[in-house]
A and B are shown apart, each in its own frame.
Chain A
Amino acid sequence: MVARLKQHYGQAIREASSYLGQNYLIVDRSEGLNLLQELRDREQFDYLVDVTALHYPQREQQFEVVWILYSFPRNERIRVKALISENENAPSVTTLWSAANWLEREVFDMFGILFEGHPDMRRILLPEGWKGHPLRKDYGIIQQDQEWVQANLGIESGQ
């Protein structure tokens, strides 16, 4: 399957590998959506398990967006990753799977990555108006948006 995909998207797939028996692909951001569509329509990966991200502040392309797919007919999983820099957007897959809606909102909430084509790109777990994206590595573990806490909760500090 990976060979076939490589034939189609030769340049776009930067790396196809497997670790502990789990396959993953690293693809170009611009080809992400097409490749995921291909996986869904031609390779029967019909279930979007999860969308998440990783932050590597020391890298040039700081973020890794990860899509985990599962195929009911094949009983198989695959992970697709795209590397994204600070000012770039990730492609939204809400047109392919409705499940992506909240999952992408959570990634935006936690990492500040914007998804292009998402119908409702706003925070989901943290309140509107909160400053900062907590799952970035430069966000401290006890850090809070004190301004928001003081203005909205009427207490000096959330700690």
Chain B
Amino acid sequence: MSNPPNTLAPSHQDLSGHDQTFLDTNELVLNMGPQHPSTHGVLRVVLKLDGEKVLGTECIIGYLHRGVEKIAEHRTYAMFNPYVDRMDYVAAVSNGLGYCEAVEKLLNVEAPPRARYVRVILTELNRLASHMLWLGTHALDIGAITPLFYTFRDREEVLKIFEKYCGARLTTHAFRIGGCLYETYEGFEREVKAFVAFVTPKIDEYEELLTTNRIWVERTKGVGVISGKDCIDLGVTGPLLRASGVKWDLRKAQPYAAYSEFDFEIPTRENGDTYDRYMVRVAEMRQSLRIISQAVEAIPEGPIMAKIPKVIKPPVGEIYHSVEAPKGELGYFIVSDGSTQPYRVRVRPPSFVNLQALDKMVRGQMVADVVAVIGTLDIVLGEVDR
């Protein structure tokens, strides 16, 4: 086979000769981010490559560090509440729930049943919104543009409910220490029910687009595999852990709010790859709808706010309380010295801990898979850097 005259590309003949220059590879260090659309914020990853193969990664984080834990020490308990919304800003309601419940435990008060039901409804709506945003952007990273329009269209309906309930769409500050500040608005139940009826077939639509789509399957199956054992060793929680075969969800393991009163399942998968994590999250969206429709049918009557002192001064002591945020275990370790300001608030951020697994998941894979794996980790840099 001789070389066609119009090309510079080497022919088979050229390559089978002694000259191997075309096949030699060098190790290459490639910088990805912090301004890169697929890093979902300001994550910087330095990749060590051998051709297309990833030999190692290093994450450089902190670009969005605002010192949230330091700020907490200089605010009263109630004043710090809106700050937690700014960590995982796509799931602000979950952040607020964890913080409010932790302070309530320190104060030894309990939110009234009505508040706990409203909290469950809003938190699950937020989980849906967070998973929708994840699905849209993750699919966009891999090259499918349609799911983004579908999921953002439907996420808008969640944000409308939030806006009507508390006036804000993203950083909602929906809960207060001791319950909820706002009563549900006129027609809240009706609108939530209508939303459930609207979005249930939409999830089938997402699945029609992706689940058996050949490009999607090729790009996600067997990519970024991590075993359940490694997940536990790395402290990885949330859908990532469940997609690796560990059936663990804080809503079931250590129920908080009113979760023990609802009937739902923990979806799990066995392979721990990007495809399985997608399947787990989609199944979780369906379970969230199941919880919402049970809760909205049975919101108890009564007060929505517990009787709490005007000045919140928890007794000396400490508490660790965690909730199942859309990303994984979100924990608050709060130490009180008996004053109006917390002595220390430590946030155990799921995104930060999960991001540590990136190196393990992409080693030996292709550069393009790094994008898929960052997407599947579902990190929010506001929470990684705090």
Contacts and interface: CB of A to CB of B under 8 A. Distances in A.
Q: A and B: real partners? A: yes
Interface of A: 19-20, 22, 46-50, 52, 54, 66, 68, 72, 75, 77, 79, 97-99, 101-103, 106, 110, 124-127, 134-135, 139, 141
A55 B253 CA distance: 32
B139 interface: no
Contacts of A77: 320
A50 B69 CA distance: 15
A101 B356 contact: yes
A99 B320 contact: no
B343 interface: yes
A99 B234 contact: yes
B28 interface: no
Contact of A20 (B61, B106, B253, B386): B106
A135 B70 contact: yes
Contact of A102 (B317, B353, B386): B353
A111 to B, nearest CB: 11
Contact of B65 (A22, A99, A126): A126
Contact of A72 (B61, B108, B232): B232
Nearest to A123: B62
Interface in B369-386: 385-386
Contact of A141 (B71, B246, B254): B71
A110 B67 CA distance: 10
A75 B233 contact: no
B256 interface: no
A139 B317 CA distance: 23
B331 interface: yes
A99 B105 contact: no
Interface stretch (B9-17, B274-282, B293-301, B344-352): B344-352
B61 A97 contact: no
A48 B232 CA distance: 8
A105 B385 CA distance: 13
A66 B105 contact: no
B333 interface: yes
The 6 A-B pairs with the shortest beta carbon distances in the complex, nearest first, are A99-B235, A125-B62, A50-B348, A52-B346, A125-B65, A141-B74
B2 to A, nearest CB: 54
B274 to A, nearest CB: 21
Contact of A47 (B69, B232, B319, B346): B232
Interface string B134-150: 00000000000000000
B118 interface: no
A68 B333 contact: yes
A72 B246 contact: yes
Contact of A79 (B234, B235, B320, B329): B320
B248 interface: yes
B101 interface: no
A50 B329 CA distance: 11
A135 B69 contact: yes
B335 interface: yes
A19 to B, nearest CB: 5
Contacts of B108: 20
A141 B62 contact: no
A75 B333 CA distance: 18
Contacts of B106: 20
Contacts of A101: 356
B273 interface: no
Contact of A50 (B62, B331, B386): B331
Given A101-B356, A102-B353, A141-B74, A54 B335 contact: yes
Given A49-B331, A75-B254, A103-B235, 7 more contacts: A20-B105, A20-B108, A48-B235, A99-B234, A101-B356, A110-B69, A126-B62
30 contacts: A19-B318, A20-B106, A20-B108, A20-B319, A46-B232, A47-B235, A48-B235, A49-B322, A49-B331, A49-B348, A50-B331, A50-B348, A52-B333, A52-B346, A54-B343, A68-B333, A68-B348, A75-B253, A75-B254, A77-B320, A98-B356, A102-B356, A103-B235, A106-B352, A124-B62, A125-B61, A134-B67, A135-B69, A139-B70, A141-B73
A141 B346 CA distance: 16
A68 B320 contact: yes
A22 B319 contact: yes
